[in-house]
Structure 1
Amino acid sequence: MARYLDVHPTNPQPRSIAQVVAMLRDDALVAYPTDSSYALGARIGSPTGADRIRSIRRLDDKHHFTLVCSDFAQLGQLVQLDNSAFRAIKAATPGAYTFILPATREVPKRLAHPKKKTVGVRIPDHPVVQAILRELGEPLLSSTLILPGAEAPMTEGWLVKEELDHLVDAVVDAGDCGTEPTTVVDWSEGAPEVVRVGAGDPSRFE
């Protein structure tokens, strides 16, 4: 049964954030709100997190996981950026974008795309996620919470709890969150290609 944590959306209670982070450090899988719908998150080093996310979403090994970062400095350690990508991504973050880029050696091989050696990265603009990331001190391994067969991601904490009660370890509810998934920009070939239009304005990368 998933633990349900009711967290203030703009001024999250430190005690609640500490509880979430303690669970993540203990190999928990957490459903949490972002600026672009709910997501599933685990520690990068979790031995079970990636497989549990794949199981819930019925994903194959070619799915791009997203590493959710607290700031641009953290993001820059995980992916290779040329000057144009550096400037454009820095200007667009934090925000509702996911960028697909070549992974650095900091990223475990099992989390990168098996052939392309790429990974998704993003910096969300949401106080609760930022508080979790600061307390955790490392990026979150993450994926948008879109259930198999659904066209839209989940956006309400109580519904996440109802649907995934025995599949996740905790649900963080901070009230209303974004209702669209991120806009995904593939920059792995040296130029931006918008591969999914979502909450972030795609025009700056077209």
Structure 2
Amino acid sequence: MAAPILEVDIEHPQPRHVARAVEVLSRGGVIAYPTDTYYGLGCDLFSKKAIERLYQLKGRDKKKPMSFLCPDLSDVAKYAHVSNFAYRTMKGLTPGAFTFILEATRVVPEMMMSKQKQVGIRVPDAPLARALAAGLGHPLITTSAHDEEGEPLIDAKGIKEKLGHGLELILDGGVTLMEPSTVVSLIGDSLEVLRQGKGRLDA
């Protein structure tokens, strides 16, 4: 059965919709949800089964770890080593359309780290996505929703059509803009833009 669609307000998410999505996530479900960039596919960072299902749904190589998002900058230090430099940099850029590459702590599941023991972490400018992670009490895996040709899926209807068979719930926040996050490495206390996306570093 294809996943049900729930219409949500992305700026002021309805608590009952957030609670329903959190309930799905906490029992190992996979959902689609809007972020400040693409629609994301997500599950609980600590649900190995859900992560494996997500890799299968995406047709993604398991050697390529997915990023995850935290509800707040203060949560990041649990999952990554945050130096003063990294903290100051992130403080100026969060919440925002950035993925930060940092060294992982031992708390992070092995399959979510690169060979170099690094992770990609987001604190998105997306109240709904942050509310989901806050409600879950764990970071939320975030990987963009694509069709089999690799084209981003920009609305709930398209996601249901292409990926609904592998999802428990789709949160509909309208049509999203098609731009990925900007990937910034903060390894070794230097800032390097690995992919320019929606997030701007002009400031």
Same fold (TM over 0.5): yes
Shift of 1:72: 0.6
Is the 1:101–1:120 Cα contact (8 Å) retained in structure 2? yes
Instruction: Tell me the equivalent position of 1:124.
Output: 124
Q: Deviations over 1:134-170 (max 9, x none)?
A: 22222112212234432x5322111111111102111
Shift of 1:62: 2.8
Cα RMSD of the aligned pairs, angstroms, is 1.7
Structure 2 counterpart SS, 1:32: strand
CA distance in 1, matches of 2:12, 2:83: 36
Partner AA of 2:70 in structure 1: C
CA distance in 2, matches of 1:147, 1:177: 15
TM-score, normalized by length of structure 1? 0.90
CA distance in 2, matches of 1:148, 1:87: 39
Instruction: Tell me the equivalent position of 2:183.
Output: 184
CA distance in 1, matches of 2:134, 2:184: 25
Shift of 1:93: 0.3
Matched, 1:42 2:71: no
Partner AA of 1:13 in structure 2: Q
Structure 1 counterpart SS, 2:33: strand
Matched, 1:9 2:10: yes
Q: Deviations over 1:76-131 (max 9, x none)?
A: 21111222111011110000000111101121122211x21111100011121122
TM-score, normalized by length of structure 2? 0.92
Is the 2:147–2:162 Cα contact (8 Å) retained in structure 1? no
Is the 1:194–1:202 Cα contact (8 Å) retained in structure 2? no
Structure 1 unmatched runs, 5+: none
CA distance in 2, matches of 1:64, 1:202: 25
CA distance in 2, matches of 1:156, 1:78: 31
Structure 2 unmatched runs, 5+: none
Q: Classify 1:65/1:32 alpha carbon distance in 2 versus 1 (closer, same or farther; 3 Å).
A: same
Matched, 1:109 2:106: no
Partner AA of 1:155 in structure 2: I
Aligned residue runs from structure 1 range 111-190, under 5 A: 111-113=112-114, 115-150=115-150, 152-190=151-189
Is the 2:30–2:169 Cα contact (8 Å) retained in structure 1? yes
Is the 1:184–1:195 Cα contact (8 Å) retained in structure 2? yes
After the TM superposition, list the runs of 4 or more consecutive aligned residues in structure 1 that deviate by more than 4 angstroms: none
